Amino acid sequence: MCGRFTLTRQNRRELAQLLGVDEDDLRDYRPRYNIAPTDQHFIVTSKYERRTARAASWGLVNSWATDNSRASQCINAKAETLEQRRAFREAFLQRRCVIPADGFYEWRGPKTQCEPMWIHPADGGIVLFAGLYESWQAKPGEWQRTFTIITTKANGLIAPIHDRMPVVLDERAAEDWMNANETEPRNLKTLLTPATEEKLVITPASPLVNSVKNDGPELLDVQIAPGRQLRLI
């Protein structure tokens, strides 16, 4: 499961360089601390080894859809069943992308006392979630791009909180995933594995994360000792 995520980089030029895209692709970029379903974000695709960042909303809507009422139900796609689900099958073979982030949230504890946890790279870098994208016509001739984040079984770090996690790709795997010439499902699915435990750490986040209306740096300020990180066992 991945229901909220972050991309908090302040410097647009630096982010463009990290992603290998033109800075102009990110002209509307702003740091985000609480990206939620149906929000606008962006995806990265690759063609002839040239990467492009394009705006897209989170929650995949198929081209044949007459409305986006199911978008919030298609924010995630299970890696194990991509080729079996009609909603994802065609995009899996033809429209693969990565979604830049620098962390995602999960919650632990009972529903009445859920504690948000921020899961992010141990080295403070960015991550590339494996994704799929589609476009649909909100009005005749008015196409809107959407995406979904692919999930896989949780690694040992995240399993105590949730049994699923987004697929995190390294640079080589990301390029292989976005390669439009690759259409063999077996080859593609070998990329959709859990990230190794040492790549990620878990840090408590502020309860302000619980409301999608909140979206600022205070969401990652929980008044704990600087650098405190958790390993849940």
Hey, which residues are catalytic here? 2, 106
Per-residue 3-state assignment (H helix, E strand, C coil) for the chain: CCCCEEECCCCHHHHHHHHCCCHHHHCCCCCEEEECCCCEEEEEEEECCEEEEEEEEECCCCCCCCCCCCHHHCCEEEHHHCCCCHHHHHHHHHCEEEEEECEEEEEECCHHHCEEEEEEECCCCCEEEEEEEEEEEEECCEEEEEEEEEEEECCCCCCCCCCEEECEECHHHHHHHHCCCCCCHHHHHCCCCCCCHHHEEEEECCHHHHCCCCCCHHHHCCCCCCCCCECCC
